[in-house]
Structure 1
Amino acid sequence: MSSRTLRALALAAAAVLTTTTLAACGGDDEASASGEASTIRLGYFPNITHAPALIGVKNGLFQQSLGSTKLEPKTFNAGPAAIEALFSGAIDATYIGPNPAINGWATSKGTALKIIAGSTSGGAGLVVKQGINTPADLKGKKIATPQLGNTQDVALRAWLKANNLNADQQGGGDVSVLPQDNATALQAFAQGAIDGAWVPEPNLSRMLLESKGKLLVNEKDLWPNGQFVTTHLIVKQEFLKKYPATVKKLLQGHIAAVKYIETDNAGAQKAANEQLAALSGKPLKDEILAASFKNLQFTNDPVASSLYTSAQHAQDVGLLKPVDLKGIYDLGPLNELLKADGQPEVSDAAAS
């Protein structure tokens, strides 16, 4: 994570106490008494790894579950920006990747957020030029990640270290790691300016299908049972304490979206792509959409064990100071809903 982003998070964290005080004074008193808010502001990304959010918004599943509470969706392009918005009070909950959530928890000393549900597992890996066949072949090569300290950046650096290759935060070392946004990386790979990238879907499938890349590492092969958290749902602690009934209704909408993907995959792909087009102005090509969905698993399970491992990886490569993650999850409301629906409950255990 860049020093500028860390400074921004630190400033935002300092504002949490102020926001807490203000939130406790007045506002939605009548709604608060019933445990429901008049409005909930939900963040998510215009990315296929956020498909439950895309579908929940597009098909009205959130609003249907929320009833009289108004849904105000807000989109973000990066996890740190979403965390800053949560800290500042601009949003109440957001879909987000694991490492920004860990950083937000650490920066706020465990006061800002809770992880309340899983959303997406898998769908990331290292795509390289043809001719690169082993880790050793990466020496002297340029590899992109979406952002310094983000989930894929940590995954790449940990994998390089495990294969006795070093990469510093300035782009030096055995392998030159160059953090850049996904659109830039896609273009750079197509033009041959970089040798590969550790990216999430749909960029992984785009590099494979549009630029004839090669999948050197499918990240799910590195995890037990092929599962690791890519996206989960977090909520501001203040909001959870003040409006538990609203949070539970949001979770009902989330569960409905995940179930819709399971029961009508074609319809889910169509809805997600239509929402992507509405947000970005351009839908994914059918073959990219299908390949991305095939490489992703949408689940209510936050795959907690992988979060703890990711945090350790970030510490090992110097991108995170030691942090106590105890209490980061609050899966009680989710498990109540899953049990009532006849679905298996999920765990926040460090080891599966």
Structure 2
Amino acid sequence: MMKRRTLLSALAAASAAAALPSRAQSNPKIVFGYTAVSDFASVFVAAEEGYFKKRNLDVELKFIPLNSTIPAALQSDSLQIGGPTPSVFLQAVDGGLDLVLVAGGGLTSKTITGFGLVARAGSGIKNPQDCVGKKIGVPGLGAFLHVTFRAWLKESGVDYRKVNFVEASFPQHADLLRGGSVDAVVSADPFMSRITESGAGYVASYYSTFLPENNQTIVHAAKREWVAKNPAAARAFRESLVEAAGFMQQPKNDARVRAAIGKYIKLPPEVLAKIQISPPGATVNEKQLGYWVGLMKDQDMLKTSIDVAKLIAK
């Protein structure tokens, strides 16, 4: 009898152990990589308002200094999901990484003046033509601000190849301007506001207002292999952001949204109160991604033909 009970106990333990991988696949630990911009607000809100926990997701938010390094972090499994800009994502795919999109972040809007060209005090930069021959810092070569700024220069009749672009993370922008290492930076709030308030620079152009409405500024990517193994977790992540987007769109929740942003990108209250928050776009469609493909082809940034329909996880 004792042997029978021992055998039954062993079988029960084995059955429980066998079930563990299935539960692990449904709710894996997700390390999510973000950069210091408010376009990640829906992720911050989902974390702070409990929308991830509501769906039994264990999500750890990890700050990444340069957006352009996120695809490599995904490939190495340092991150399970990360927020590259659309151009960084598409370049990674073009380069052979098998990534897909599980959700979206912020959206472009002509009402947003939270990023632009910030020139060094005394530089004399006032218009697109003044950028020729100048050294301009961007927070990620090939990332959103770099690509859109080059598109603006081209639309203004300026050959962007005559501008010297250097990679510089957002926190470096003020010091680089003050030290004269660069003539201007393509920056975003809260860093842009801090630069202008300190007198280190001035906004030469809110060039972002030329962009069409409702295109993704940030996309949330993962390895295709990870999504295939964890489809429920990928959907739950997206559903969490959809719920967060709904929360953000209610004016009564503005203070809580700003508090969530401030927690993760370390903003003081006076700066937090002033920043503009991009509209949330929790889902990505083929038209939005196709816009970026067209923009990048126009700048000779893509070597392969990209089928956007295959890049959006269902």
TM-score exceeds 0.5: yes
TM-score of the aligned structures, taking structure 1 as reference length: 0.71
Q: CA deviation at 1:63?
A: 2.0
Q: 2:308 aligns to what SS in structure 1? A: coil
Q: 1:96 aligns to what SS in structure 2? A: coil
Q: 1:199 aligns to what SS in structure 2? A: strand
The equivalent of 1:21 in structure 2 is none
Indicate the larger mover: 316-325 or 229-238: 316-325
The equivalent of 2:280 in structure 1 is 298
Q: CA deviation at 1:235?
A: 2.6
Residues in 1 aligned to 2:92 and 2:177: alpha-carbon distance in whole angstroms: 31
Q: CA deviation at 1:118?
A: 1.9
Identify the match of residue 124 of structure 1 among 108, 115, 118: 115
Q: CA RMSD in A?
A: 2.9
Q: CA deviation at 1:80?
A: 3.4
Q: CA deviation at 1:119?
A: 1.3
TM-score of the aligned structures, taking structure 2 as reference length: 0.78
Indicate the larger mover: 209-218 or 41-50: 209-218
Q: CA deviation at 1:268?
A: 0.9
Residues in 1 aligned to 2:273 and 2:145: alpha-carbon distance in whole angstroms: 22
Q: 1:234 aligns to what SS in structure 2? A: strand
The equivalent of 2:12 in structure 1 is none
Q: CA deviation at 1:269?
A: 0.4
Residues in 2 aligned to 1:100 and 1:27: alpha-carbon distance in whole angstroms: 38
Q: 1:108 aligns to what SS in structure 2? A: coil
Residues in 2 aligned to 1:142 and 1:93: alpha-carbon distance in whole angstroms: 33
Question: Within 5 Å, which residues of 2 pair with 1:57-76?
Answer: 57-65=47-55, 67=56, 69-76=57-64
Residues in 1 aligned to 2:209 and 2:218: alpha-carbon distance in whole angstroms: 18
Question: Within 5 Å, which residues of 2 pair with 1:83-98?
Answer: 83-98=71-86
Indicate yes or no: 2:236 matched with 1:246: no
The equivalent of 1:340 in structure 2 is none
Show CA shifts across 1:156-213 (max 9, x none): 2222233333344xxxx3x332322222222122445433221233223333333374
Question: Within 5 Å, which residues of 2 pair with 1:1-352?
Answer: 29-31=21-23, 36-65=26-55, 67=56, 69-108=57-96, 112-122=98-108, 123-129=114-120, 131-168=124-161, 173=162, 175-211=163-199, 213-225=201-213, 227-263=214-250, 264-276=253-265, 283-292=266-275, 294=276, 296-302=278-284, 305-330=287-312, 332=314
AA aligned opposite 1:211 = G
Show CA shifts across 1:128-171 (max 9, x none): 35753322233343322112222212222222233333344xxx
**Does the Cα contact within 8 Å between 1:128 and 1:216 map onto a contact in 2?**
yes
Q: CA deviation at 1:101?
A: 1.0
Q: Percent identity?
A: 21
**Does the Cα contact within 8 Å between 1:129 and 1:213 map onto a contact in 2?**
yes
Residue 191 to residue 184, structure 1, CA distance change in 2 (3 Å): same
Structure (1 or 2) with the larger CA radius of gyration: 2
**Does the Cα contact within 8 Å between 1:120 and 1:299 map onto a contact in 2?**
yes
Residues in 1 aligned to 2:35 and 2:235: alpha-carbon distance in whole angstroms: 22
Q: CA deviation at 1:31?
A: 2.8
Q: 2:267 aligns to what SS in structure 1? A: coil
Q: 1:291 aligns to what SS in structure 2? A: coil
Q: 1:126 aligns to what SS in structure 2? A: strand
Residues in 1 aligned to 2:147 and 2:295: alpha-carbon distance in whole angstroms: 7
Show CA shifts across 1:73-130 (max 9, x none): 3332223322112112333222221122112222226xx2221322112443222357
**Does the Cα contact within 8 Å between 1:113 and 1:328 map onto a contact in 2?**
no
Q: CA deviation at 1:329?
A: 4.0
Residue 147 to residue 250, structure 1, CA distance change in 2 (3 Å): closer
Mind listing any 5+ residue stretches in structure 1 that lack a counterpart? 1-25, 277-282, 333-352
Mind listing any 5+ residue stretches in structure 2 that lack a counterpart? 1-17, 109-113
Q: CA deviation at 1:245?
A: 1.6
Show CA shifts across 1:253-288 (max 9, x none): 212222232220111101221233xxxxxx323343
